[in-house]
Amino acid sequence: MFDKIDHIGIAVRSIEAHIPLYRDVFGMEFLGEEEVAEQRVRVAFFKIGESLIELLEPTSDDSPIAKHIEKYGEGIHHLALGCEDIVAAREAVAARGVRLLSDAPRDGAHGKLISFMHPKDTGRVLTELTQRKPDAEEH
Q: Which residues bind Zn ion (CB under 5 A)?
A: 9, 54, 80, 128
Closest distance to Zn ion from the beta carbon of 65 (Å): 11
Closest to Zn ion by CB, 7 vs 20, is 7
The string of DSSP codes covering 67-98 is: HHHHHH-SEEEEEEEEES-HHHHHHHHHHTT-
Closest distance to Zn ion from the beta carbon of 5 (Å): 11
CA distance 85 to 87: 6
Closest to Zn ion by CB, 24 vs 115, is 115
Closest distance to Zn ion from the beta carbon of 82 (Å): 11
Closest to Zn ion by CB, 24 vs 58, is 58
Residue number with the smallest Cβ distance to Zn ion: 9
Closest distance to Zn ion from the beta carbon of 14 (Å): 18
Q: Exposed/middle/buried for 12, CB within 10 Å: 0-12, 13-18, 19+?
A: buried
Strand (E) or helix (H) holding 36 = strand 29-36
CA-based max dimension of the chain:
44
Closest to Zn ion by CB, 54 vs 57, is 54
